[in-house]
A and B are shown apart, each in its own frame.
Chain A
Amino acid sequence: MDRIWVLAEQRDGEPSTVALELLAAARSFAGTVGAVTWGSGAAEAAATLGEHGATKVYDAGDVGDSLPGPRVAAAIAALIEAEGAPDALLVGQTYDGRDVAGRLSARLDRPVLTNIVGLSAEDGALVSEHAIFGGTQVLKARFTGESPGIFLIRAKSFAAEPAGGGAPEVASIELPDTGATDGAKVKGRHEEERSGPQLDEAAVVVSGGRGLGSAEHYALVEELAGLLHGAPGASRAIVDAGWVPYSHQVGQTGKTVKPTVYIACGISGATQHMVGMKGAKNIIAINKDESAPIFTIADLGVVGDVHTVLPKLIEAIKAHQ
């Protein structure tokens, strides 16, 4: 393959981890790797993107109070018009990444392959891997139409690694006015307080499920995660129940995590949950039902009640430290 572009989200000059993961993948398949970025701080982000293998960075500039989807997609469409289509466009499956990919797809009349967890090259074209039916089966697919193929890729599918690349060439690209599609405006941003690492970056993840019994008991999960310098996670059951926000959800429709250790507390181990965490190096599960499916993948399974095991575990770790 000749050219691959990566959609590189950044914040205050720091590229998102998934962007760096995608650059690592892109440079293993193509000689020329471009990164499309936007927002204030894009200039500083360029250096990091270069280190990770981008040879050229296209900076669309600040989107202001617009949602990125329509205008960034229009900028990429204009870039393709000017420079020709790359073989592939790799996009991280994030809130904004999905919007950009969907908009671009309709604009260019090209399909999108989504929920990708791996890539390979066959006969000079990219082949995508998808974990389907809760990760019990792996499906491989490819595009049959004109390029660019748009690939929406889940975070943690590749390992980010600096390539030792130098400063990339930086080109400013225009952010076209898209009229009505750009009507939605951000009026305010609300950030929840978070202490400790981000869920999908944490080396330790402690997750709670319905077995906790009530929202109040989630404090045990948070305390244990805090003691281990990890992040608290959750099953969908307790997200849907409103105990914790969606950003805590691990699984098929939540985040994929690959920590050093994943501690599942009162989680049954539905396939849709396990697809998001079975890439963990070590899995510890606490569940009072010895036939819970989570035990089929746990390295250490404790058949017990979270309400007795967790408080004792927390005390023991405090004593240890």
Chain B
Amino acid sequence: MNVAVCVKQIPDPAGELALDPSTHTLVREGKLILDDSDSYGVEMALQLVEAAGGGEVTLVSMAPNNETSGLRTALAMGAAKAVLISDEALAGSDALGTAKVLAAAVSRIQPDLVLAATESTDGYTGTTPVQLAELLGWPAVTFAKKVEVSPDSVTVQRQTEAGYDEVVSPLPAVVTVTAGVVEPRYPSFKGIMAARSKPVEELTVADLGLEASAVGAAGARQEVISVQAAEERKAGEIVTDEGDAHQRIVAYLEQIKVL
């Protein structure tokens, strides 16, 4: 069982996020980290490969400036190798452009299964993995909360509005996993050392045989018109509980006719 995991490397969400004032795209300078959302996919892939009794986990990432720090984290967790697509022509890519790049990379790797997160932390369109599946001509199961594999199929508990559906798909397929489905392991010291020498293949748009006009800002065909501060909601009354705050809440609920 060979599993490819799409991993996004993003600016630290704990820091100040900002849009570039001229291009209106997210500022992605400086160190990037492994998107937390994707750590679940990496962990899931490692567990599936272990359960299948063989195979390896390959990471696929599109990121600026040949950034590898997020990839090293996932390699330290246990992934075998990585493919990194980095090219100036990719700046300003939208989700469909990103999917085109990932599809070309996945076609080279030819895995049995592709895992991704239901949505990334910074852009969170949540459409990239489905677009990827359509471009590959594969089935996809989104919002997985449990995943099991057999040699030729994957069984998924897919989150629904009312509960979950049990979905079975032939392989190859794309599966997106929700946060919290597994407990991502912490890289061990040995893992971190080993990650330093694991192979990271670096590719450009031309290496993938894609036209620069189909990806990046040129291919995005959408534009930001304006960015403004949102209206703020004002604070109301604050009371400190002296043992009777519940009565104040009851009075408030009566006042707004909920009680």
Contacts and interface: CB of A to CB of B under 8 A. Distances in A.
B254 to A, nearest CB: 8
**Could you tell me the dominant secondary structure of chain B's interface residues?**
mixed
Residue of B19, B180, B220, B238 most packed against chain A (CB within 10 A)? B238
A105 B166 contact: no
A183 B173 contact: yes
B241 A304 contact: yes
A182 B141 CA distance: 10
Interface in A294-312: 295-305, 308-309, 312
B180 A239 contact: yes
A134 B238 CA distance: 24
Given A98-B127, A98-B130, A114-B126, A184 B139 contact: yes
Given A102-B130, A304-B245, A186 B225 contact: no
A283 B119 CA distance: 29
Interface residues of A, number: 94
Given A105-B131, A131-B230, A278-B233, A113 B173 contact: no
Interface string A177-198: 0011111111111111010000
A317 B258 CA distance: 11
A103 B221 contact: no
Contacts of B65: none
Given A99-B140, A180-B139, A188-B166, A302 B248 contact: yes
A3 interface: no
Interface in B204-242: 220-230, 233-241
B245 A133 contact: no
A171 to B, nearest CB: 25
B164 interface: yes
Interface in A262-321: 263, 278, 281-284, 286, 290, 295-305, 308-309, 312-313, 315-317, 320
Contacts of A188: 165-166
Nearest to B241: A304
A302 B241 CA distance: 6
A142 B175 CA distance: 30
Interface in A89-131: 94-95, 98-99, 101-103, 105-107, 109-115, 122, 127, 131
Interface stretch (A43-51, A55-63, A213-221, A245-253): A245-253
B167 A302 contact: no
Given A185-B168, A246-B178, A290-B240, A320 B134 contact: no
A135 interface: yes
A20 interface: no
Given A261-B253, A312-B246, A320-B250, A181 B166 contact: no
B161 interface: yes
B137 interface: yes
A309 B246 CA distance: 6
Interface in A151-203: 152, 179-192, 194, 203
Contacts of B95: 105, 111-112, 114
B221 A137 contact: no
- Label chain A's interface by main secondary structure: mixed
Contacts of B145: 246
B194 to A, nearest CB: 29
A143 interface: yes
A235 B170 CA distance: 35
A131 B229 CA distance: 10
A141 B222 contact: yes
Ranked 7 nearest A-B pairs via Cβ:
A304-B241, A102-B130, A145-B221, A106-B134, A184-B169, A299-B236, A183-B139
Given A111-B94, A137-B229, A298-B235, 14 more contacts: A99-B142, A103-B131, A106-B99, A132-B19, A139-B224, A144-B223, A180-B170, A182-B139, A183-B138, A239-B180, A240-B179, A253-B124, A253-B179, A297-B235
26 contacts: A94-B161, A95-B161, A102-B129, A105-B96, A107-B134, A109-B96, A114-B95, A133-B17, A137-B227, A138-B230, A142-B225, A145-B221, A183-B139, A185-B167, A246-B145, A253-B124, A261-B258, A284-B249, A286-B245, A300-B248, A300-B249, A301-B236, A302-B238, A303-B238, A316-B246, A320-B259
Interface of B: 17, 19, 24, 94-96, 99, 119, 124-135, 137-143, 145, 158-170, 173, 178-180, 220-230, 233-241, 243, 245-250, 252-253, 256, 258-259
Interface of A: 67, 69-70, 73, 94-95, 98-99, 101-103, 105-107, 109-115, 122, 127, 131-133, 135-145, 152, 179-192, 194, 203-204, 228, 236, 239-242, 246-247, 252-253, 260-261, 263, 278, 281-284, 286, 290, 295-305, 308-309, 312-313, 315-317, 320
